[in-house]
Amino acid sequence: MKTLRLIIATAGLALLLPVAGHSQTTDELRNMTPEQRREHMQGLSQEERQALAQQRRAEWDAMSEDERQALRESRQTERRGMSDEERAAARRRYSERRDNQRGAMRESWKSMSDEERAAAREQYRQKKQERRDTWNNMSDEEKAAARQRMKDQRIGHGTRQGRGERKRCQQ
């Protein structure tokens, strides 16, 4: 009986080790410099990256709105502290990543059969119609609230701001 308990305990710990390793990785990633983080992420396999993304999404979903806002503000402060060269390098990396993703999407589209493309187009049309129906069924107050949420999201994610918006955000 004692041996059986030992085997079960060992098996349970063995199952928990990969999860502990991933949580340690996210904590380590937060403490890395951007260059170290980039090198680490490039060294991960596609499955490891996906697992890390899922874990980060779960952490984000578990945060309260105040914690999310604090994280957004800390990231915005980091961006404001960047030099012009660092900003230019970040823009280049973002642009390269976007171009790579577009290329992958283009290749995926080219590899589809005509039937698959037709199904993808139809699925897109259905989603678009659902969004349109949802919007049309909203009251004026709900539409105004939705517009405000979208505006807040754009401002919070570093998009370009007009002069008036920029001055209000800096105050």
DSSP letter string over 48-91? HHHHHHHHHHHHHHHS-HHHHHHHHHHHHHHHHT--HHHHHHHH
* Phi-psi region at 158: left, alpha or beta (left = phi > 0; alpha = psi -120 to 50): left
pLDDT of residue 160: 52
When divided into structural domains, the chain yields a total of: 1
pLDDT of residue 63: 87
User: Which residues constitute the domain of residue 72?
Assistant: 2-157
pLDDT at 153 over 70: yes
Question: What angle (nearest 5°) sits at the alpha carbon of residue 66, between those of residues 60 and 72?
Answer: 65
pTM beyond 0.75: the answer is: no
Residue 37 lies in a domain: yes
pLDDT of residue 137: 95
Residue 99 lies in a domain: yes
Residue 171 lies in a domain: no
Residue 71 identity (one-letter amino acid): L
Residue 151: both structure tokens together: 């505006």
Arithmetic mean of pLDDT, 1-25: 53
Residue-wise pLDDT for 80-137, tens only, equals 888 888 888 888 988 988 998 898 889 989 999 999 999 999 999 999 999 999 999 9
Residue 31 lies in a domain: yes
Higher per-residue confidence, 41 vs 119: 119
